[in-house]
Chains A and B, each alone.
Chain A
Amino acid sequence: GAVVSQHPSRVICKSGTSVKIECRSLDFQATTMFWYRQFPKKSLMLMATSNEGSKATYEQGVEKDKFLINHASLTLSTLTVTSAHPEDSSFYICSAAPGQIEAFFGQGTRLTVV
């Protein structure tokens, strides 16, 4: 299957700083990527749809100024958590799709804000 790589797998940052998470499709091009968030022992919730060359589409309740998404190329989308706070601590996972049907998930990033 197609490979999606996410980096870093774990990150600890201080409150008030920003952290960037990368999602790369390694062996295919993806015009669309997706970012999900998972609180501890909770389900995965879609945060936003990342569109190559255009603005991301955010789900209701997700602060676009807080979670900046950039999809500058067909193989890379980045999620930047700006001015992170402890409540932003979560597991963030991306997915990318080579076609119209199947999306492949990255390994996820566990963010801890201290």
Chain B
Amino acid sequence: AQKVTQAQTEISVVEKEDVTLDCVYETRDTTYYLFWYKQPPSGELVFLIRRNSFDEQNEISGRYSWNFQKSTSSFNFTITASQVVDSAVYFCALSEVNTGFQKLVFGTGTRLLVSP
């Protein structure tokens, strides 16, 4: 069965601190996708990244970086030099070939609070 665990319910940091959001997943499929979404207070889901199971290369996009490690079934997300605008709930998600790549299973989310 597929499952996504985000153990950190809420993280509070001060602006300019680096912060890492953890994501651990479970799947029996060898072909799957992992996602990160940002959900600001307005509610919409903002797509951040999609990574397929065959690509373990880490990715950096501006202040954002992602570390994918199949050996530990983790797909962690780091924000460098956090800003107040980063305050939001962040969801990690998984989709599998067996159930259809379009169908996502979400983690419980991590609420990030960045204070000035």
Once bound together, how far apart are the Cα atoms of A49 and B44, in whole Å? Answer: 20
B45–A97 touching, CB < 8 Å: no
What number of residue pairs across chains A and B have CB atoms under 8 A from each other?
53
Check A43 against B44 for contact (C-beta < 8 Å).
no
Instruction: Say if the beta carbon of A110 comes within 8 Å of chain B.
Output: yes
A101's contact among B47, B101, B108, by CB below 8 Å, is which? B101
Q: CB-CB contacts of B1-44 with A at 8 A, as 1s and 0s?
A: 00000000000000000000000000000000100010000011
Is A67 in the interface zone, CB < 8 Å from B?
no
Question: Does B98 interact with chain A (Cβ within 8 Å)?
Answer: no
Contact check, B45 vs A32: say whether CB atoms are below 8 A apart: no
Count, chain B residues at interface, CB 8 A: 19
How far, in angstroms, from A41 to B47 measured CA to CA in the complex? Answer: 19
| B43–A43 touching, CB < 8 Å | no
Q: Which residue of B lies closest to A46 (CB)?
A: B103
B102 and A102: CB pair below 8 A?
Answer: yes
Given A49-B103, A103-B104, check contact A91 B50 (CB 8 Å): no
Distance in Å: Cβ of B25 to nearest Cβ of chain A: 14
For B50, give the chain A residue with the smallest CB separation: A102
**Which listed residue (A43, A44, A101, A107) contacts B102, Cβ 8 A?**
A101
4 new A-B contacts, CB < 8 A, other than A100-B100, A107-B43, are: A44-B104, A49-B103, A91-B43, A102-B50
Question: Can you show 25 pairs from A to B with CB atoms below 8 A apart?
Answer: A1-B47, A32-B102, A34-B102, A34-B103, A34-B104, A42-B108, A42-B109, A43-B107, A43-B108, A44-B91, A44-B104, A44-B106, A46-B105, A91-B43, A93-B43, A93-B45, A95-B102, A100-B100, A100-B102, A101-B33, A102-B102, A103-B101, A103-B102, A105-B37, A107-B43
